[in-house]
Structure 1
Amino acid sequence: MAELKYDAGAGAGATDDLPAPLTGDDPAPAPGPVHDPAAADLLARARTLLDAHPVADGYSGLPWALRHLSWFDLDLGESAVDTDVPRLREGRVGALFWALHLPEGLTGDRAVGATLDQLDLVRTVVRAHPDGLRLACDPGPITDVHHSGRIAVLPGPAGAAALGDSLGILRSLHGLGLRALTLTGVSWAGETGLTRFGEEVLREMNRLGVLADLSGAGAETVRRACAVSKAPVLCTRSAARALRPHPTNLPDDLLAVLGAAKGLCMVPLTAEQTGPSVRDVADHLDHVRAVAGADCVGLAGTYDAGPAHPQDLPDVSGYPRLIAELLRRDWSEADIALLTWGNVQRVLREADFAAREAQRRREPSTATITDLDG
């Protein structure tokens, strides 16, 4: 059993039964098990399918949540957060991105320092739980980690402010394990799109193999990033705006752009963005699949990131319930395998290939924001 003590003040900024599906207007389910043989069969099928094709979760807020705990043990179980190793195993999670996003207002050197603190914490937490967690930054190692019985941890996304407008800092963060960066909150990636420096940042990200996260980005930034990037882009926590008008959700025209670029829209499991029940989440998955394509939809638990979750998906153990709902809707096992594991693997493989090609063609960029944007 690994116990990790962490100073919350340190650093910068320091069951088995499937509930009946609900609509957004349905009351909360009555307590107690649901004795429904059909539901139990769907849940058993979901678990079997997830054993072969586990969930690659696109967004976990665990690193920042752990900063507020004086001690924790993710191997034993940690009730103060939504994520620990026993519940990850129950939910059949094989890999997850640990977000390095920071509270609003941190900019400049403070944002850089706080992101470095977050990366250090991720590495420390993973080292303290070697039987359950392992860092893995490429497609092959992620599969290897899963086959070894552990859960793969990918650091990122971080906020673009963490770069301090420096490509050298981007390279340093990548060297420490960063694998995704959100292109929002900076002068070079805004509502009007990417500036010349923003495009250079994206090209350097492609050269390194750092994925571009466009959740919350302006429409023109999404369009330009999809056009410029040589690697697939992500939206790590975006659902369908046609079903729920949240600013981080994507309208159908941008879902179509993302699908045409073979990017990946990872639908969050939050009541705010998708709705209060597992059926609402499945509605968004249906919609994104219909508009962007089956190979362009994924899952983002968004656990430990602040928002409330659907009442029947309260923590990372609930993924089999969601997959059972998709099976009830006649999703094919092939499409579910893409949703849970295959699409993330494809994006990582293609980003790795694009990075190898870019490294053969160009040296590390020395451009500055002053050089390109004046």
Structure 2
Amino acid sequence: MTLPTSSLMALSLVLVLAGVQAAQAQPASVEARADSLVQAVLLVDGHVDLPHRLNDIYENPAATTVGGDFDYPRARAGGLDAPFMSVYIPTYLQSNPTAAANRADALINLMEKITTEHPDAFSGATSPDEVRRIAETEAVALPLGMENGAGLGGEIDNVKHFYDRGIRYITLTHGMHNRLGDSSYDDAEPRWNGLSPFGENVVAEMNRLGLMVDVSHATDPTAMDAIEQSEAPVIASHSSCRHFTPGWERNVSDELIQEVADTGGVVMITFGSSFLQNEYRDRDAPIRDEMQAHIDSMGWAEDSREAVVYEQETRRAHPIGTVQDVADHIDHAVDLVGAEHVGLGSDFDGVFALPEGLQDASEYPTLVAELLRRNYTEDDIAQILGENILRVWAAVEATAETRQE
């Protein structure tokens, strides 16, 4: 039997509508859920090294940049609302306290220049409330953290100076023992066997003013001393789990994860390949050596566009590790202390090698999708992405208000 044309058209319409309804009834893909989630919740990254990167080779971070892992377009694509900008003090400046403090001021000046010149893209932030307010706009908030307490120049009054300039956490040490305490990266014998007397005074002053105490990079005794001395919650702004890198003190042990959580603090898992498995550090150096040899053979200056482009191409062609590795570290910390004490501290712009799927600030959704596959709830993910560090920051502010009464 042949149906009349009108009947065929009606049947086709019914079938089309049925198909649309069926598609609408299907749950969104994990990737689509992840994309929506990072845009819907606050995403705060504990550590991005943009200031140091731009101090070496300046590019306009409000536009798409050639180098590095972070710029405004990539941050917006990845749902990033508030990356803590690392005011990093290289260890070679530690022997000159004035130069170390001047470097910190110079990097803060650079960040202020960026927010002044590109107010639609970036805004400074000195409180959790400001981060939340800025997140309602199209701008990315840029709170500041000092990486390496050597930037204080050995002067306790500089804690207040840098607080007034916008610093809201201080990573007590970096690559070498300094005046505050001992570094996990330093091969020399411990200088203080924990916090120094000056370091204890710095922690007390940080508590008084409302700066978060950051134990990333510190030795275990230094971190434990800081935790014991601090009256406010403590953070590890960019550290992963030593469980996966036995013997590597730069990552935090299970005991330290628990101790940080016991203060009410948060451990912020980093993305750098070397933090994920010990074997990944051995794969990093040959890639760098071959890349540098090519740059030298071409006669390119280190800060030339050609060298920067080639470095980025090399890094992306040789990812080390996977997004699953990063999720494993998150799982481990969550299993130990709960989702409310875990965050993200990518170390974007501060490491050479990154895992596949987390190559820059546009790719946070890849990690979120992996967490969704592992049956994390959206509430848990919202805590990890930003709510935990904002809660800790607010608690540190509250402690300061009590101290100043």
* Residue 224 in structure 1 maps to residue 213 in structure 2: no
Q: 2:263 is matched with which residue: 261, 264, 267? A: 261
The SS at the match of 2:213 is strand
Instruction: Output the CA distance in 2 between the equivalents of 1:195 and 1:80.
Output: 38
- Which ranges in structure 1 are unaligned for 5 or more consecutive residues? 1-37, 361-374
Decide whether the 8 Å contact of 1:226 with 1:257 is kept in 2.
Answer: yes
Instruction: Output the CA distance in 1 between the equivalents of 2:322 and 2:91.
Output: 29
Report the more deviating stretch, 168-177 or 191-200.
191-200
The SS at the match of 2:44 is strand
Instruction: Output the CA distance in 2 between the equivalents of 1:168 and 1:157.
Output: 15
What is aligned with 1:342?
Answer: 387
Instruction: Output the CA distance in 1 between the equivalents of 2:210 and 2:370.
Output: 35
* Residue 49 in structure 1 maps to residue 41 in structure 2: no
* Residue 73 in structure 1 maps to residue 60 in structure 2: yes
Q: 2:251 is matched with which residue: 245, 249, 252? A: 249
> Residues 97 and 290 (structure 1 numbering): CA distance in 2 closer, same or farther, change over 3 Å?
same
One-letter amino acid matched to 1:59 = H
One-letter amino acid matched to 2:179 = S
Q: 1:286 is matched with which residue: 318, 326, 331? A: 331
Deviations along 1:241-281, whole A, 9 cap, x unmatched? 11123331111111111111111111001111025100000
- 1:68 deviation in Å? 2.4
What is aligned with 1:367?
Answer: none
Decide whether the 8 Å contact of 1:258 with 1:292 is kept in 2.
Answer: no
What is aligned with 1:351?
Answer: 396
The SS at the match of 2:375 is coil
What is aligned with 1:19?
Answer: none
The SS at the match of 1:266 is strand
- 1:162 deviation in Å? 0.9
Decide whether the 8 Å contact of 1:181 with 1:210 is kept in 2.
Answer: yes
What is aligned with 1:11?
Answer: none
4+ residue runs over 4 A deviation = none
Decide whether the 8 Å contact of 2:89 with 2:151 is kept in 1.
Answer: no
One-letter amino acid matched to 1:63 = P
Instruction: Output the CA distance in 1 between the equivalents of 2:374 and 2:52.
Output: 36
What is aligned with 2:376?
Answer: 331
One-letter amino acid matched to 2:141 = A
The aligned runs of 1:1-374 (5 Å cut-off) are 41-70=29-58, 72-107=59-94, 108-184=97-173, 185-190=177-182, 192-245=193-246, 246-274=248-276, 276-360=321-405
Decide whether the 8 Å contact of 1:272 with 1:307 is kept in 2.
Answer: no
Looking at secondary structure, tell me which structure has more helix per residue: 2
- 1:40 deviation in Å? 7.6
Instruction: Output the CA distance in 1 between the equivalents of 2:43 and 2:323.
Output: 16
- 1:188 deviation in Å? 3.4
Deviations along 1:214-259, whole A, 9 cap, x unmatched? 0011112212221221221111111111112333111111111111
The SS at the match of 1:298 is strand
- CA-based RMSD: 1.6
- Which ranges in structure 2 are unaligned for 5 or more consecutive residues? 1-25, 183-189, 278-320
Identity score, percent: 32
- 1:39 deviation in Å? 12
Which of 1 and 2 has greater Rg? 2
TM-score (norm 2): 0.77
The SS at the match of 2:84 is strand
How many pairs are equivalent?
322
The SS at the match of 1:189 is coil
Decide whether the 8 Å contact of 1:278 with 1:322 is kept in 2.
Answer: yes
- 1:325 deviation in Å? 0.2
